[in-house]
Amino acid sequence: MIDAVAGLYAGTEPMPFQAVSPPIFQTSLFTFSSYEEMAGAFAGRSKRYIYSRGDNPTVEELERLIAALEGTEAARGFSSGTAAIAAAVFPFVEAGDRIVSVHNVYNDAYRLFEKILRKFGVQIDYVDGTDTEAVLAALPGAKIVYLESPASFTFTVQDIAAIGAAARRHGVISVIDNSWATPLFQKPVAHGIDLVVHAASKYLGGHSDTVAGLIAGPKDLIGRINSESYHYLGGKLSPFEAWLILRGMRTLPLRLARHMENGLELAEKLDAHPHVTKVRHPAFQPHPGNATFTGYGGLFAFDVADDVDVPAFVNALNHIRIGVSWGGPESLVVPALAALQLPREANSFHRFNVSPKTIRFSAGLEDARLLWADLEQALGKARTVSKSTEAA
């Protein structure tokens, strides 16, 4: 697995001075030596760099790497995962068209669909992604099927091979958010998915120091994206941030192995804890869709028992920090109650398949014993607090 990244990383372009780390082409434009050279470039007669909202060599280095890792032809870099999601969807829909999306996609993907796409007359139908028959039944006539396996907060998976094959039969473009598994643990294109989007802000970057996005896919679809949403929505990736992602990816296999190990160990311990009622992790939720994973991300969620006070639990954590995002070295929690801002009635949580007692946990790179000790003491304290409140 290490070779999968290191080999591709080192092999793409010979570096100036045999440098092992690529240069950062921190430039907005590339000049021409003559009228003819400029005219030729604009007429498409010569492929060369013009302006960094289009192509930039540092960003291209990252695009080549992600395309190779995802086992596909091409890729484009974006200023955020959300910019990548928007750019992957926009070229393929117009007013009157329909998108099929699974439930519990990343919150801001959902808001993009609801707040922007609906305004332009695009209909979005949400289906239970765990119910493959329901997804397939919704496909005829749709333009896009939007997947995220596992989904946010619920960590429920989809049978992407079955959905990808059916989407091809119906002429529906399939798009998946593969940020959680990364191409090291799931290669959606090999299972028939058309476009793969990434929040490179998470595992690919891996150091909580940049926000970036990527789309990988076949040349024809990336070409459409390139000639529509990439250039004219303008959400391009900056050379320095592309470089940070490239640097982060050099240790991706090592980091992911540790995230996975920590995630599984803590999920197991939480599952056995008397005050935890549910663990939301693909390994703990059997489904045919698990077959496409060759490993697991370290991000999952768990539900605490009714008598565990969520704010008290979160406040009792000493080492584990409270924060959104994930995929960096530090372990983090996000309580659904605070972050999802769902209406308080129980049924709204039910609609989103999460509970007010759901806590998302991003397993970082720390020693698992330290993390478990922190979770265990906080669970103990949060329960004591709620008990003493009852007594008072």
Ligand X SMILES: *Cc1c(COP(=O)(O)O)cnc(C)c1O
Q: What residues line the site for ligand X (CB under 6 A)? A: 80-82, 106, 152, 177, 179, 199, 201-202, 211, 213
Minimum gap (Å) between residue 102 Cβ and ligand X? 12
Minimum gap (Å) between residue 37 Cβ and ligand X? 37
CA atoms within 13 A on the CB side of 332: 15
Task: Give the closest residue to 299 by CA, choosing from 153, 148, 82, 201.
Answer: 153
Pairing relation of β-strands 144-148 and 173-177?
Answer: parallel
Minimum gap (Å) between residue 255 Cβ and ligand X? 16
Minimum gap (Å) between residue 214 Cβ and ligand X? 10
Residue 250 in tokens: 């050099």
Q: How far, in Å, CA of 293 to CA of 187, rounded?
A: 8
Q: How far, in Å, CA of 125 to CA of 60, rounded?
A: 35
CB closer to ligand X out of 61 and 177:
177
CB closer to ligand X out of 282 and 378:
282
CB closer to ligand X out of 112 and 382:
112
Inter-residue contact 266 to 318 (CB < 8 Å): no
Determine the number of helices (DSSP H) and then strands (DSSP E) in the chain: 16, 12
CB closer to ligand X out of 81 and 183:
81
Minimum gap (Å) between residue 21 Cβ and ligand X? 23
Q: How long, in residues, is the chain?
A: 392
Q: Is the dihedral of CA 283, 291, 367, 280 positive or negative?
A: negative
What's the angle, vertex CA 14, arms to CA 16 and CA 188, rounded to 5? 130
Q: What are phi and psi of 147, to 5 degrees?
A: -120, 155
CB closer to ligand X out of 29 and 116:
116
Minimum gap (Å) between residue 103 Cβ and ligand X? 14
Measured distance between the N- and C-terminal CA atoms of the chain, rounded to whole angstroms: 56
Q: How far, in Å, CA of 129 to CA of 149, rounded?
A: 9
Minimum gap (Å) between residue 341 Cβ and ligand X? 16
Pairing relation of β-strands 173-177 and 195-199?
Answer: parallel
Minimum gap (Å) between residue 132 Cβ and ligand X? 21
Residue 242 in tokens: 């592309």
Q: How many CB atoms lie within 10 A of CB 43?
A: 8
CB closer to ligand X out of 165 and 339:
339
CB closer to ligand X out of 113 and 386:
113
Closest residue (Cβ) to ligand X? 81
Inter-residue contact 70 to 183 (CB < 8 Å): yes
CB closer to ligand X out of 88 and 379:
88
